[in-house]
Chain A
């Protein structure tokens, strides 16, 4: 608080013209004395060479042809081309859900919502997209707009609940569409998750890893604080065991050793599901420890006040303790979820074609030998976009909930 006040008073001393003029800014920040000026020049020269080489590589040396040629592979892996319409349907519906919940979200993060709605139009500008792809993107935008109008007819006080239903229904429909229903030769033949790949699989693994590990982690954190010794010991054992082994060993265990432990004739659990379970179990242990930090930061007085009001243990946990504890650990949790998203690349090592796995198999295609710089650059950009979006959304949420400010 005091620091903020100081800066603002500090600033107000400066003449307004100098604060906003470029030269003044430069003089104050980059060339304030001889030593800083030298540092600035050295950094500029260095940046110039880096940027020149980077641009020269990007525009002259790099063979970007590898990206459009393998674009479908990067986006959806081995998902059959004949069933690709189902993926588009999933995207239309996502657009619609964003539209339907827009007014609700926009109160909290208007910037994000506006950005989300413009994404289809930005994507339509990508040069190598076919007209069909652009049309599909346009339909997505239309679906968003339609969703937005539908929400206008809902009574304001029901919107929150409606949004939850829409999102839950969306998740169920999405899984049904992806997985397929009915006979092999029916209109929607099943597509085994082994064939899901690329960005599709990375996002699904991250999304379900996060949403499933969160409740499990909270339950474990509460379990660790429990008065009942059995529950507490079990939680501690689980958390300490999982945190004591690297994720890759859990993945290998799931892929390679699970089959040895299961009884003969036990049906094979899907490999992708096995990876998801490993990721979820792993992430839950870390979530539990992060949430425990939040729980321990709640002053004793809050518990006592809740008891004094006559709330049951359940009521006080749900209504008093958890909301405060979770609010305090949002930045840590988001950090952990971003690292979970990036950790999903480890599944490439157990033969699943996530974004990284797909990149590695594209590099083994004789037509595209030696293009690893281009492919890895694109994969890095994709990861950056999603990781940065998550951290941006979390910062908005923090500001909205006033984390760090009382």
Chain B
């Protein structure tokens, strides 16, 4: 009997130790640990098989996306993924397979997205991901061209007559806790020498409802999100988004370190949508450009030179498939965020460089 009890105790202690070890592995340490294994795994993967060939073998692209961001990623009523980010997933699928629907969107939370990419379960992250230095370096990501320049903004009531940060002296601001948004708010108000009172919430729904109920003078988050939420306020016309930007939020696709061919492919698919807008090529008029003499257009559409093979794709018209099946940048933007949507979001920085924005795609040559 005594020995049995001893064994029982040993078992308990053993299980506790194992539990603790595993718990230690799983807690926040998951970040750096995963990175280590990623660095070990990425070069190995490159030697073994390139991302492109894995994708082609699988027969579909696995795109790590968002399923809960209005305008960028959600399921429509028919159960299809839709949104600005999803359209870029579709564009990559169209380039690789000539079929924008050869795609599986893998919804992920903000926390798990990088781990899923590192583990090889996804091929690319297009999930309103801000390009930052630590993500680019520590986390082992490569960021493609920014598809959407966002920035943190402030919404206030019109009647308050606020125009600049200085006018918000002593104001209360609704903000989501534990985010870069909260830190940016503190940084910007401190550097402007403005005192404010932060009213913090766990998620943006709560924060925004509180603002609507008048519990704070201003509410802050990314501008695109502010615009989309404005329509849901009880009196949308009584509110205004200030013309100040508290932070830079360049959102774009990210891939794993160590596979340059795949990185190039993602880059040039994004550039192709911008170039198509620059040349005025849309999904509906692309046929009329087939006889074009302009060598820039001929190279983009694959009529001259074999540029798709340079990113590993045999189909010379890979960018044309992107344009016919998904559209150029303006079409993607307008479909999801433009004047015909509830957002009616002005292009602003997201205009071509020729229209006063900062979208500037290098030439295909």
Q: Which A residues have a C-beta under 8 Å from some C-beta of B?
A: 69-70, 72-73, 77-81, 194-195, 197, 229, 232-233, 236-238, 240-241, 244-245, 249, 252-253, 255-257, 259-260, 264, 268, 349-351, 353, 357-358, 360-367, 369-370, 372
Contact = CB atoms under 8 A, between A and B. Distances in A.
B15 A360 contact: no
B121 A365 contact: no
Interface string B59-70: 000000001111
A73 B75 contact: yes
Given A350-B112, A361-B67, A70 B77 contact: yes
Contacts of A197: 79
Given A72-B79, A365-B77, A233 B109 contact: no
Interface in B1-52: 4, 7-8, 10-12, 14-16, 18-19, 22-23, 26, 30, 34, 37, 44, 48
A255 B78 CA distance: 26
Contact of B232 (A77, A361, A369): A369
Contacts of B37: 260
A240 B15 contact: yes
B70 A233 contact: no
A353 B75 contact: yes
Contact of A351 (B12, B71, B109): B109
24 contacts: A195-B79, A233-B10, A233-B14, A236-B11, A237-B14, A237-B15, A237-B18, A240-B19, A256-B116, A257-B30, A350-B112, A351-B106, A351-B107, A351-B109, A357-B67, A361-B107, A362-B74, A364-B68, A365-B74, A366-B341, A366-B342, A369-B228, A369-B229, A370-B231
Contact of B71 (A229, A245, A362, A366): A366
B34, B44, B107, most chain A CB atoms within 10 A: B107
Contacts of B78: 72, 81
B90 to A, nearest CB: 16
Interface string B107-125: 1110010011011110000
A358 B118 CA distance: 26
A41 B322 CA distance: 69
Given A77-B79, A260-B34, A364-B69, 15 more contacts: A73-B79, A232-B7, A233-B8, A237-B11, A237-B15, A244-B19, A245-B19, A260-B118, A264-B44, A361-B67, A364-B68, A366-B74, A366-B228, A366-B341, A370-B231
Contact of B120 (A249, A259, A370): A259
A80 B109 CA distance: 25
Please indicate which of the listed interface residues B30, B67, B106, B205 has the most CB atoms of chain A within 10 Å of its own CB. Answer: B67
B99 interface: no
Nearest to B64: A351
A232 B79 contact: no
Contacts of B16: 240, 244
Kindly list the 6 A-B residue pairs having the minimum CB-CB distance in the complex, ordered from nearest.
Answer: A370-B232, A364-B74, A351-B107, A233-B11, A237-B15, A78-B79
A69 B79 CA distance: 11
A255 to B, nearest CB: 7
Contacts of B12: 236, 240
B260 interface: no
A358 to B, nearest CB: 7
B11 A256 contact: no
A362 B75 contact: yes
B73 interface: yes
B76 interface: yes
Contact of B74 (A236, A253, A260, A361): A361
B334 to A, nearest CB: 13
A255 B119 CA distance: 10
Contacts of A238: 15
A79 B7 contact: no
B23 A245 contact: yes
B246 to A, nearest CB: 23
Of A244, A351, A358, the most chain B CB neighbours within 10 A belong to A351
B306 interface: no
A252 B26 contact: yes
A236 B75 CA distance: 44
A245 B342 contact: no
B104 interface: yes
Contacts of A244: 15-16, 19, 23
Nearest to B27: A249
Nearest to A197: B79
B43 to A, nearest CB: 13
A77 B80 CA distance: 10
Contact of A349 (B11, B109, B228): B109
A132 to B, nearest CB: 17
B312 to A, nearest CB: 21
Contact of A232 (B11, B44, B67, B106): B11
A372 B70 contact: no
Nearest to B34: A260
Contacts of A364: 67-70, 73-74
Interface string B180-210: 0000000000000000000000000100000
